[in-house]
Structures are given as C-alpha cells and as structure tokens.
Structure 1
Amino acid sequence: MTTVPTVTPDRVNQITRKIYPNYKVIVLNDDFNTFQHVAECLIKYIPGMSGYLAWDLTNQVHYEGQAIVWVGPQELAELYHQQLGRAGLTMAPLEPA
C-alpha cells in the first residue's frame, strides 16, 4: 500500500479579520445638571455637535431618561465618556453598539 502525503493548509491564508465594534456614549438624566450645562458639555466635548442637536439630546435625556450622544470606536468613546463624566454629567457605562 502506498500512502498519500497529507497537505496541511497554510495558516497564513486562514487569517480571520474582525471589525472592531462601535461603542455608545450615553448620558443619563439626573436631578442636579441644568439643561444649559448638559447642552454646553455636549457641544464642547462631542465633535461636530451642533447647538440644535445638543438641545434635542438634552431634552431626550430629560424626558426619556437617557440619550445616546455619540457612537464610534472604543478609544474615542472612552475619551468622550470620561470628559463628559468629569464635567459632571451622569454617564451610563460604555456598551457596544
């Protein structure tokens, strides 16, 4: 009997690429931050945040209890989450989008 050599696949060709998940930055309602302060923080720390969107999100935080204010890569989400928290806003833990 003759045996046939076994060919093992090249592991280099078996690379699986995964996309990093985006993360949500969520501001929670509280009893001590004013509408003005929340809106100003959103404008100051979230890139591209307009005054109109900041006020819409501030209203959503107040009336619905929370608002997703930014979604994106984890490293930036951590930065914005930390900045908003240091400014005194009540933040939900970061979570994958």
Structure 2
Amino acid sequence: MTSSPTVAPTRASQTVNQLYPNYKVIVLNDDFNTFQHVANCLMKYIPGMTSDLAWELTNQVHYDGQATVWVGPQEQAELYHQQLSREGLTMAPLEKA
C-alpha cells in the first residue's frame, strides 16, 4: 500500500502584520500638586519634554481636568506612568491610544 506525501497549505498569504498598540499617559487634575511640581515632573521623566510644553500641559491639566502627556509603546508608558505616580501626580489608568 502506497501513501501520498502530506502537503501543508501555504500560509504566506495568510500572514497579517499588526503593530503593537500605543498607550496614553494621562495626568489628572488634583487639589494638592502645584503647577511647578507638575511641570518639573514632566520635564524630569518625559523624554524630549520642553519647559514650554510642560507648562502648556500643566495648564491643560488644571483647566481641562486632564492632559495626555505621552503616547507610545506599553512598556515605556508603564514606566513613565509609574515614575509620575511616585512623584505624587494623580494619574489616570493607561489607555490604548
């Protein structure tokens, strides 16, 4: 008795490349952090944060109740979220962007 070889279907056309989702780091307004402290923390922990942008985001936190201060890969977002939280900033949970 002769058996025929098993042929696996080609999967190249079935491959779908998906990017990892980005996450938002969001600072919330509170009644105990000063503008100066929030701006200093943003400049200290968020890469590329300028003084002008930090103050703009700090004002947005105060007047709008929140501001997205960074968007990017989950691991980095978790790090920045943790660092800002440890400095006493009030943080929203990470959100997918």
TM-score (normalised: structure 2): 0.89
2:66 is matched with 66
Question: 1:76 corresponds to which residue?
Answer: 76
> Normalized against structure 1, the TM-score is what?
0.89
Q: What secondary structure, in the 3-state scheme, does the structure 2 residue paired with 1:9 have? A: coil
Instruction: Identify the residue that residue 38 of structure 2 maps to in structure 1.
Output: 38
Q: What are the ranges of 5 or more consecutive residues in structure 2 without an aligned counterpart?
A: 1-6
Amino acid corresponding to residue 71 of structure 1 in structure 2 = V
Question: Residue 93 of structure 2 aligns with which residue?
Answer: 93
Q: Which amino acid aligns with 1:66?
A: Q
Deviations 1:38-62 (A, max 9, x none): 0000000000000000000000000
- What secondary structure does 2:48 align onto? coil
For residues 56 and 42 of structure 1, the distance between their equivalents in structure 2, rounded to whole angstroms, comes to: 11
2:29 aligned partner:
29
Cα separation, 2, equivalents of 1:32 and 1:86:
14
> Which sections of structure 1, spanning at least 5 residues, go unmatched?
1-6
Matched residue pairs, number? 91
2: CA distance, partners of 1:30 / 1:9: 58
Q: Give, in whole Å, the separation in 2 of the partners of 1:9 and 1:39.
A: 57
Identity %: 78
Letter of the structure 2 residue corresponding to residue 41 of structure 1: C
Instruction: Write the letter of the residue equivalent to 1:60.
Output: Q
User: Which contiguous aligned blocks of 4+ residues in structure 1 show a shift greater than 3 angstroms?
Assistant: none
